[in-house]
C-alpha cells in the first residue's frame, strides 16, 4: 500500500496565521524550520515526475508565505492542478487576478453563517462570513473553482447552512468532523468535539445542496487520519495517522518521493474511501496566458487505472471504480 504513488499532495507552507481558530492543528512546530532557500520550488516538479496530479498549498495561512505565487507558477509549468486552502482574509481581488492563470481551486474556510459563532471559534474578528462571500464572488468572476471547507464542532453542528452555501455557489463543499490531535489542539478544543451521531445529523440537515449540483463531501475525523499525503517545504512528509503528527527524516528532494513517503506512510484505501479522487479539473478553461486545458488538468486514464487497480485489490471503495472510469472518460471527450 505504501508504494502507491500519490495523486494528490498537500504542502504546508507556513505555521503563521492571522486567525486563531481553537481547533487549529496546522501550526506545526516542524514548520519553525521553514527553509529560506529556494529548494521548495523544486517540489512541484519532483511530484509531477512521479505522476502526482494535484498540489494543494496550505498552512497555517499559505498567503503568508511569500513564495506562494512562485510555487503556483512553477506548479502550473509542471502541469499540476493547483489548489490553495486559505481562511480568505488576505485574498484580494488583485491577488486572485494575478494568480488566476495558475490557480485551479481556492478552498476557503466557512463554519457558520453566524459571525458570532465564527468569532467564538477564533475564525476572525467578526467579519469572516462577509469576507468569504466577497472571495467567492471573485472566484466566480475569474473562473476559479471554489471549495468551501467547514469544520463541524459543538458550536455549529446544529446549524442549517444550506442557504448560505447555495448563495456562495461552491463547486465542492467539504465538511469535516473536528479532529483532535495529541500535541496540537487536543486540550484547547476538547469542548468542541462532537460524536458521529451529531456529525451525521449535520450531514442530513445540509446534504440537500447536492440537488443544486454542489459536490457535498463529509469526512469523519477517523477518515482524516492517515488519508492525506502531507509535506513540509523542506520536502519531508508528515502524517497524522496515529492521532498525532509524525514527521519523516528524509526529504523527497534528496531521496525521492517514494523513499521519503515510506518513512511516514499513507493509507490509500482511506484516501479513496473519502473521495480523494474526483474530477480535479477547473470549472472554466483559462483563456489566454498560460492556460491549461480541462483535459490536461484532470486525471489521466493511466493514473485512474493505476489507483483503480489498487482499489479493486483492496476492496476498500466500491464507488471508486465508476468515478475513476467516468473521470478518465471525460478526459477523452
Ligand atoms: S485559519 Fe486555518 S491555519 Fe489559521 S488558525 Fe484557523 S485553522 Fe489554523
* Domains (range + CATH), the chain: 8-267+275-296 (3.20.20.70)
Instruction: Please tell me the least confidently modeled range out of 33-37, 41-45, 232-236.
Output: 33-37
Cβ–ligand 1 distance for 24 under 6 Å, the answer yes
Choosing from 123, 174, 189 the residue with most ligand 1 atoms within 8 A of its CB, the one to mutate for a pocket test is 123
Instruction: Please tell me the least confidently modeled range out of 136-145, 166-175, 211-220, 321-330.
Output: 321-330
Res 329: pLDDT = 40
Please provide residue 302's backbone torsions phi and psi, each rounded to the nearest 5 degrees: -65, -45
Classify 248 as helix, strand or coil.
strand
**What phi-psi label fits residue 126: left (phi over 0), alpha (psi between -120 and 50 degrees) or beta?**
left
Cβ–ligand 1 distance for 21 under 6 Å, the answer yes
Ligand 1 atom closest to Cα of residue 25:
8
Per-residue burial over 9-42, b if 16 or more Cβ lie within 10 Å, else e, is bbbbbbbebebebbbbbbbbeebeebeeeeebee
195, pLDDT greater than 70: yes
Residue nearest atom 1 of ligand 1, based on CA coordinates = 87
CA 149, CA 22: separation in Å to the nearest integer? 16
Res 29: pLDDT = 62
Q: How far apart are the first and last CA of the chain?
A: 32
Would you please indicate which residues are annotated as catalytic (active-site) residues? 17, 21, 24
Q: How far is the CA of 19 from the centre of ligand 1 (A)?
A: 6
CA 315, CA 311: separation in Å to the nearest integer? 6
183, pLDDT greater than 80: yes
Residue nearest atom 6 of ligand 1, based on CA coordinates = 21
Cβ–ligand 1 distance for 84 under 6 Å, the answer no
Integer CA distances (angstroms), 159 to 57, 152, 162, 198, 291, in order: 29, 9, 9, 11, 40
Q: How far is the CA of 148 from the centre of ligand 1 (A)?
A: 14
Ligand 1 atom closest to Cα of residue 109:
1
315, pLDDT greater than 50: no
Cβ–ligand 1 distance for 87 under 6 Å, the answer yes
37, pLDDT greater than 70: no
Instruction: Please tell me the least confidently modeled range out of 71-80, 89-98, 233-242, 294-303.
Output: 294-303
Cβ–ligand 1 distance for 88 under 6 Å, the answer no
**What phi-psi label fits residue 125: left (phi over 0), alpha (psi between -120 and 50 degrees) or beta?**
alpha
Please provide residue 138's backbone torsions phi and psi, each rounded to the nearest 5 degrees: -65, -40
- pTM: predicted TM-score of the whole model, two decimal places: 0.85
* Mean pLDDT for all residues in the chain: 85
Q: How far is the CA of 324 from the centre of ligand 1 (A)?
A: 32
Q: How far is the CA of 207 from the centre of ligand 1 (A)?
A: 25
Cβ–ligand 1 distance for 238 under 6 Å, the answer no
Q: How far is the CA of 96 from the centre of ligand 1 (A)?
A: 20
Residue nearest atom 8 of ligand 1, based on CA coordinates = 24
Amino acid at each position: 500500500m505504501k508504494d502507491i504513488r500519490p495523486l494528490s499532495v498537500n504542502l504546508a507552507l507556513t505555521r503563521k496565521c492571522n486567525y486563531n481558530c481553537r481547533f487549529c492543528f496546522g501550526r506545526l512546530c516542524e514548520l519553525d524550520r521553514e527553509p529560506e532557500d529556494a529548494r521548495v520550488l523544486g517540489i512541484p516538479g519532483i511530484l509531477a515526475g512521479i505522476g502526482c496530479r494535484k498540489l494543494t498549498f496550505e498552512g497555517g495561512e499559505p498567503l503568508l508565505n511569500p513564495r506562494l505565487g512562485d510555487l503556483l507558477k512553477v506548479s502550473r509549468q509542471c502541469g499540476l492542478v493547483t489548489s490553495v486552502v486559505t481562511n480568505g482574509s488576505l485574498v484580494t481581488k488583485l491577488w486572485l487576478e494575478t494568480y488566476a492563470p495558475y490557480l485551479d481551486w481556492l478552498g476557503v474556510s466557512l463554519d457558520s453563517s453566524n459571525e458570532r459563532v465564527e468569532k467564538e471559534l477564533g475564525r476572525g474578528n467578526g467579519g469572516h462570513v462577509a469576507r468569504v462571500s466577497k472571495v467567492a464572488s471573485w472566484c466566480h468572476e475569474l473562473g476559479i473553482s471554489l471549495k468551501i471547507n467547514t469544520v463541524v464542532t459543538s458550536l455549529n453542528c446544529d446549524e442549517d447552512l444550506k442557504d448560505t452555501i447555495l448563495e456562495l455557489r461552491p463547486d465542492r463543499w467539504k465538511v469535516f468532523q473536528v479532529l483532535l490531535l495529541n500535541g496540537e489542539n487536543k486540550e484547547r478544543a476538547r469542548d468542541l468535539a462532537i460524536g458521529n451521531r451529531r456529525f451525521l445529523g449535520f450531514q442530513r440537515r445540509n446534504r440537500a445542496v447536492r440537488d443544486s449540483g454542489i459536490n457535498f463531501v463529509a469526512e469523519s475525523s477517523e477518515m482524516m487520519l492517515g488519508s492525506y499525503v502531507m509535506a513540509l517545504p523542506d520536502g519531508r512528509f508528515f502524517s497524522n495517522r496515529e492521532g498525532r503528527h509524525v514527521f519523516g527524516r528524509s526529504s523527497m528532494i534528496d531521496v525521492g518521493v517514494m523513499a521519503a513517503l515510506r518513512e511516514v506512510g499513507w493509507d490509500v484505501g482511506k484516501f479513496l474511501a473519502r473521495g480523494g479522487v474526483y474530477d480535479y479539473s477547473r470549472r472554466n478553461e483559462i483563456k489566454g496566458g498560460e492556460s491549461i486545458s480541462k483535459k490536461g488538468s484532470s486525471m489521466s486514464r493511466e493514473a485512474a487505472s493505476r489507483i483503480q487497480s489498487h482499489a479493486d485489490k483492496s476492496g476498500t471503495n466500491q464507488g471508486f471504480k465508476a468515478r475513476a472510469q467516468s473521470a478518465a472518460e471525460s478526459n477523452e471527450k
